[in-house]
Amino acid sequence: MDEMEANQFKDFGKEMIDYVAGYLENIRERRVLPTVEPGYLRPLIPDSAPLKPDKWEDVLKDVERVIMPGVTHWHSPRFHAYYPTANSYPAIVADILSGAIACIGFTWIASPACTELEVVMMDWLGKMLGLPEAFLACSGGKGGGVIQGTASEATLVALLGAKARTMDRVKKDHPEMSDAEIVGKLVGYTSCQSHSSVERAGLLGGVQLRSLQTDASNRVTGEILEKAIKEDIEAGLIPFYVVATLGTTSSCTFDKLDEMGTVCNENNIWLHVDAAYAGSSFICPEYRYLMKGIEKADSFNFNPHKWLLINFDCSAMWLKDPSWLVNAFNVDPLYLKHDQQGSAPDYRHWQIPLGRRFRALKIWFVLRLYGIENLQAFIRKQIGLAHYFESLVRSDDRFEITEEVILGLVCFRLKGANEPNEALLRRLNGRGVIHLVPSKIGDTYFLRLAICGRVTENSDIDISWKEVKNTADEILSKK
């Protein structure tokens, strides 16, 4: 058989490493948004897979010809859409090793290092964030962490744990009620500002989730939550799950976690905290005030793959009592049983799929090769860049800041009506020098500028601001 041998792999791999380093180092020079039209790619490659192998040199050449024209460059300092997605050299190298070991770590015996490194890395990360001991495996209690693929999965998994816990309790109190009857009465709560994946978790989990209106500062407070819960209990429903958001996707706003936690604890409701983006900032002690009340939560999740330089996918989730998941999802066919069951987590019970990659390696590499101090410096620098952009916006009377800038997101708009702002965004993205996405809260349409690229400097922010300002000049002079 004619296949790639180790020698060729070494050549191909080295060439690819050079290509990757060159791509990332010179990413500023590429237009952040591609200019291609839908369907651009099919005519560039053959209709069918090759019968005989191509040469790796030709494959590498085709990356520039076929792929790069259709890439949105998320790691460009001109990319300000959504939230960042992480990227660093240590994480890329770790993924090469993960690809080589290529184990499926669903049980301890399926690759002990895969499970054991994950347990320890989740403790390292938890300590870096200052999470309460009750979430950490090293505390010797029930708690512990797990790497999920995405925050969306964490929200669903927590919902299923909450459902199992509440079903168990209600069945003990009301043996006459059937499962279907109980499920029909379960109700969960989240903010109208929470991520769309929370609503989706409710749909996937087959339970009602109420979307709560927020206070004037776009937050859910203890009072708002308590009122909704009281109404539902009076209507015969069973409140079981609350998702609090720390750092909403629209505007990086923080729910009143501490107050919500008190209400949840008093009513025996599972509290899950979604800090997908903002969680990384808690490695800096000066931002931990944003998670005040975290000790009242049952589960906590953030995405190192957003803002902690650990490439997608790596969503870190901690649970005070994972046994609710382990019991809820436990199916134990003979081929997955092993003698050491119980002495280490069998992570297959903590997640929806069976298979899992060796993702703890990239946490290990990044934490060791940056060190906590450099990661803190990175977060602080990015927040500083957001404040720098904020100061530029504030220096121009035509604009306003619509939400307090706390982390690396700046929400801003032209004062007055929405239409000029819609035109501004369309034109900015049409020019493709920088890339932003808008949002809307209530009737107010605004632009979001997120600090994304790892290599972003003040001079990059000057370029982004100049682009916004010049485009605004064009829009406003046309009127």
Ligand X SMILES: *Cc1c(COP(=O)(O)O)cnc(C)c1O
Nearer to ligand X, 158 or 182 (CB): 158
CB of 315 to ligand X, least distance (A): 5
Contact status, residue 151 vs residue 276, Cβ threshold 8 Å: yes
Measured from the Cβ of residue 37, the count of other Cβ atoms closer than 10 Å reads: 7
CB of 83 to ligand X, least distance (A): 5
Among 240, 249, 172, which Cα is nearest to 207's? 240
Torsion angle of C-alpha atoms 46, 30, 407, 269, degrees rounded to 10 = 0
Binding flag, residue 348, ligand X (CB under 6 A): no
What is the rounded CA–CA span in Å between residue 436 and residue 429? 7
Single out the segment in contact with ligand X by CB under 6 A; choices: 117-125, 135-143, 272-280, 378-386: 272-280
Q: Rule CB under 6 A: choose which of 303, 351, 376, 382 binds ligand X.
A: 303
Single out the segment in contact with ligand X by CB under 6 A; choices: 13-21, 88-96, 148-156, 207-215: 148-156
CB of 261 to ligand X, least distance (A): 18
CB of 317 to ligand X, least distance (A): 11
CB of 106 to ligand X, least distance (A): 21
Q: Rule CB under 6 A: choose which of 123, 274, 298, 346 binds ligand X.
A: 274
Contact status, residue 285 vs residue 250, Cβ threshold 8 Å: no
CB of 432 to ligand X, least distance (A): 24
Contact status, residue 106 vs residue 115, Cβ threshold 8 Å: no
Q: Rule CB under 6 A: choose which of 150, 323, 391, 439 binds ligand X.
A: 150
Single out the segment in contact with ligand X by CB under 6 A; choices: 107-115, 270-278, 392-400, 450-458: 270-278
Among 378, 352, 337, 344, which Cα is nearest to 128's? 378
Q: Rule CB under 6 A: choose which of 76, 115, 315, 351 binds ligand X.
A: 315
Binding flag, residue 152, ligand X (CB under 6 A): yes
**Contact set for ligand X, span 187-206 (CB under 6 A):** 195, 197
CB of 23 to ligand X, least distance (A): 23
The two three-digit tokens of residue 96, written as one number:
């090469």
> β-pairing, 208-212 with 186-191?
parallel
What is the rounded CA–CA span in Å between residue 74 and residue 86? 9
Binding-residue pattern over the window 86 to 125 for ligand X, x denoting contact by CB under 6 A: ----------------------------------------
What is the rounded CA–CA span in Å between residue 199 and residue 328? 21
Catalytic residue among 195, 272, 305, 349, which? Answer: 195
Q: Rule CB under 6 A: choose which of 241, 277, 307, 412 binds ligand X.
A: 277
Q: Count residues binding ligand X (CB under 6 A).
A: 15
What is the rounded CA–CA span in Å between residue 304 and residue 461? 24
The two three-digit tokens of residue 93, written as one number:
């190298």
Q: Rule CB under 6 A: choose which of 249, 253, 281, 382 binds ligand X.
A: 249
Binding flag, residue 83, ligand X (CB under 6 A): yes
DSSP one-letter string for 436-462: -EEEEETTEEEEEEE---TT--HHHHH
Binding flag, residue 307, ligand X (CB under 6 A): no
Q: Is 272 a catalytic residue?
A: no
Beta-bridge partner residues of 139:
none
Torsion angle of C-alpha atoms 303, 307, 310, 313, degrees rounded to 10 = 40
DSSP one-letter string for 80-130: -SSS-----HHHHHHHHHHHHH----SSSTT-HHHHHHHHHHHHHHHHHHT
CA torsion sign, 359 to 365 to 366 to 368? Answer: positive
Single out the segment in contact with ligand X by CB under 6 A; choices: 69-77, 144-152, 285-293, 400-408: 144-152
Three-state DSSP class for residue 439: strand
CB of 166 to ligand X, least distance (A): 23
Single out the segment in contact with ligand X by CB under 6 A; choices: 99-107, 110-118, 145-153, 471-479: 145-153
The two three-digit tokens of residue 347, written as one number:
């992570």
Binding flag, residue 245, ligand X (CB under 6 A): yes
Binding site for ligand X (CB under 6 A): 83, 150-152, 195, 197, 245, 247-249, 274, 276-277, 303, 315
Question: Which residues have a catalytic role annotated?
Answer: 195
